[in-house]
Structure 1
Amino acid sequence: MLLGLALPTFGTDAHVDGVVTFSRAAEELGYDSLWTGDRVLSPRSPSARYPSGNGVMPRVYENHMDPLTCLGFVAAHTERVRLGTSTLNGLWHAPLVLARTLTTLDVLSRGRLDVGLGLGWMPEEFTAAGVPWQGRGTRLDETLDVLEAYWANDEFSHRGRLFTVPETVVGLKPAQRPGPPVLLAAFTPAGLRRVARRADGWLPTGMPLDRLMAMWRSVLEDAERVGRDPEGLRMALRVNLRLTERSTGPDVFPGSGTLDQYIDYARAAAEAGVHELFVDFGQSPATLDERLDMAARFVESVRKG
């Protein structure tokens, strides 16, 4: 199982030295990937519950960096680790502009980009971005149409329900062919079907492993029903570490727990068949050095098995 870390692009360590130090250290520690999320607003009282933990959005999101700019910056300061978005709210971007940006990132990183897309959870962010909250699934499907056509063809045009792209020559191509892998964050039946039918993989978040693997089996079965090879799909599991001093029970974990509990969870995930697991220490009050110490202990302990 591959192991990754979430970059410190939120909170007090979201600054140039924090990002450079963390990304270089992660590569030296032997991590396989680095990931960054997406936020444009941090209202005190969002109209929707945060989709994790106690439903309250972590205050670290009040200080947020642009995810794609950060990945381009990190690409210049690393050599080996893959670079992913978990998740990018691609619906805030015109699909053609998004295709150009992602292609550029894949070229500049020498083919290390993983594109994780999500539908978002906060209506206020869509209002601020000038994008309708309703019809997000349709908007995502058409965005995927444009990305696929842009990456596959030397010339293309698009005319859909929401977007029109006049015929154009596409000279710049991604380093990864036919394009960087696209993984989708999804939890509803419709979202999981979209993963099975359209994506290269799934981006779930930490949950009890029996529930996680049941959802994954449904994705693989649906992929096989539509003629796709299930072996070609992968799962990259995001685990947000909310660390406690004492062990928590099964009614709480993996929502919160000790570092040792999360190490055991990662080992069990590997045995269950999870392809990649990446952890976010960003919701811990620890300093950057303390987080790197925990990251070193985590990767060593999980790999030691």
Structure 2
Amino acid sequence: MRIGLALPTFGPEAGPEAIAGVSRAAEEMGYDSLWSGDRVLAPATPSVPYPGEDGVMPRAYENHLDPLVALTFAAAHTTRVRLGTSTLNGLWLPPLMLARSLTTLDLLSAGRLDVGLGLGWMPEEYTAVGVPWKGRGARLDETLDILRGYWTSDVYAHDGPLFTIPETKVGLKPHQRPGPPVLLAAFTPRGLRRIGRRLDGWLPAAMPLPNLLGMWATVVREAEAAERDPAALRMALRVNVGLTDTGTGPDEVPRRGTLQQYIDYARAAAEAGVHELFVDFGQRTTTLDESTDLAGRFLTGVRAG
């Protein structure tokens, strides 16, 4: 199982020194990937509760870097680790602009990009960027069509329900062919169906492993129904760490627990067949130095198993 680490793109310490330092340290430690998230607003009282245990959005989100710019900066300070978005709200940009940005990052990083898309959870952010909240699924499907078409065509045009792209020659090509892998964060039956039938993988959030594997089985069934090879799909599991000083009950992991309990959870995930797991130590009040130390101890513990 590959092990990844979330970049410090949120919170008071997010900045060039933090991105460069964590990127280099993670690659030297032996991490396989680095990940960045996406926010444009931090309202005091969003209309929809944050999809976490207490429904409260982490204060770290009040300071948010652009995820693709941050990954480009990380790419310049590393040579090996893959670079992923978890998640990029892919509907906030016109699809052609999104295709150009993703292609550029994949090219500049020599083919290290994993595109993790999500639909977000906060209607206010859609209002702020001028994109309708309703109809997100249809907008996502057309966006995926445009990404694939742009990446695989020398001459491309699109005329769809939402977007029209006049015919153009496409000279900009991603390093990875036919394009960087595209994964989706989704948990509804429709979302899991979409993953199995047309995407490269799934970006779940940490949950009890029986629940995770049950949802993954849906993805596999949908891939088989679409005559796709499920073995070609991958799962990259995000773990937002809620550290405690003393051990918690099994029903509380992975929402909270000691570092050893998170190590044990990662080992169990590997045994269960999870392809990649990445951890975020920075969503609460942990300092950058503490997060880096925890990252080193976590990776050592998982790899020692």
Bin of the TM-score, shorter chain as denominator length: over 0.9
* Distance (Å, rounded) in 2 between the aligned partners of 1:267 and 1:222: 27
Quote the residue 1:236 is aligned against.
Answer: 236
Task: Establish whether residue 74 from structure 1 lines up as the match of residue 74 from structure 2.
Answer: yes
1:204 is aligned to: 204
- The alignment partner of 1:50 has SS state of coil
Further displaced range: 246-255 or 40-49: 246-255
Identity %: 70
How many Å apart are 1:187 and its aligned residue?
0.2
Is residue 2:79 matched to residue 1:84? Answer: no
TM, length-normalised to structure 2: 0.99
Q: Specify the alignment match of 2:3 in structure 1.
A: 3
Retained in 1: the 8 A contact 2:282–2:288?
no
Unaligned ranges ≥5, structure 2: none
Q: Write the distance in 2 (CA, Å) between the matches of 1:253 and 1:13.
A: 27
Query: Separation in 1 of the partners of 2:125 and 2:181?
Result: 26
Kindly provide the CA deviation profile for residues 40-71 of structure 1, in whole angstroms up to 9, marking residues without a partner as x: 00000000011122111111100100001111
One-letter amino acid of the structure 1 residue matched with residue 99 of structure 2: A
Retained in 2: the 8 A contact 1:4–1:32? yes
Give distance in 2, aligned partners of 1:283 and 1:46.
18
| Structure 2 counterpart of 1:162 | 162
The more displaced of 79-88 and 11-20 is: 11-20
Please tell me the residue identity of whatever aligns with 1:91: L
Tell me, in whole angstroms, the C-alpha distance in 2 between the residues paired with 1:244 and 1:284: 12
Q: Deviations over 1:12-43 (max 9, x none)?
A: 22011111111100000000000000000000
Give how far 1:78 is off: 0.5
Map 1:117-266; keep pairs closer than 5 Å.
Answer: 117-266=117-266
Distance apart, 1:288 and its partner CA: 1.2
Matches of 1:198 and 1:37, distance apart in 2: 23
Task: Give distance in 2, aligned partners of 1:294 and 1:76.
Answer: 24
Give the letter aligned to residue 116 of structure 1. Answer: G
Q: Say if 2:285 is the partner of 1:285.
A: yes
Q: What is the match of residue 55 of structure 1?
A: 55
- Give me the whole-angstrom Cα distance separating, in 1, the residues matched to 2:53 and 2:11: 18
Task: Report how far residue 150 of structure 1 moved.
Answer: 0.2
The answer (yes or no) to whether the contact 1:13–1:19 under 8 Å persists in 2 is no
**SS in structure 1 at match of 2:252:** coil
Q: Shift of the alpha carbon at 1:219?
A: 0.4
Which amino acid is 1:168 matched to?
A: T
Give the CA deviation at 1:250.
2.8
Q: Is residue 114 from structure 1 mapped to residue 114 from structure 2 by the alignment?
A: yes
- Please state whether the residue corresponding to 2:251 is helix, strand or coil: coil
1:114 alignment partner, SS class: strand
Assess if the C-alpha contact under 8 Å between 1:86 and 1:203 holds in 2.
Answer: yes
CA distance in 1, matches of 2:65, 2:33: 19
How many Å separate the matches in 2 of 1:136 and 1:53?
Answer: 25
Letter paired with 1:144? L
CA contact (8 A) 1:12 1:60 kept: yes
Bigger drift between 174-183 and 242-251 goes to 242-251
Provide TM-score, normalisation by structure 1: 0.99
Whether the aligned pair in 1 keeps the contact of 2:58 and 2:284 (CA below 8 Å) is: no
Shift of 1:262: 0.4
Which letter does structure 2 place at the counterpart of 1:205?
A
Q: Distance in 2 between matches of 1:260 and 1:50?
A: 27
After superposition, give the CA deviation of every residue in 1:210-265 in whole Å (9 maximum; x if it has no partner): 00011001100110011000010000000000111111223322111111110000
Note the C-alpha offset of 1:110.
Answer: 0.3
Q: Distance in 2 between matches of 1:85 and 1:71?
A: 8
1:284 Cα deviation (Å)? Answer: 3.6
Instruction: Find the aligned partners of 2:120 and 2:289 in 1 and give their Cα distance.
Output: 31
CA-to-partner distance for each residue in 1:113-134, whole Å, 9 max, x for gaps? 0000001100000000100000
- Give the Cα separation in 1 of the matches to 2:266 and 2:13: 25
Q: Which amino acid aligns with 2:147?
A: L
Give the superposition deviation at 1:293.
1.0
Q: How many residues align?
A: 305
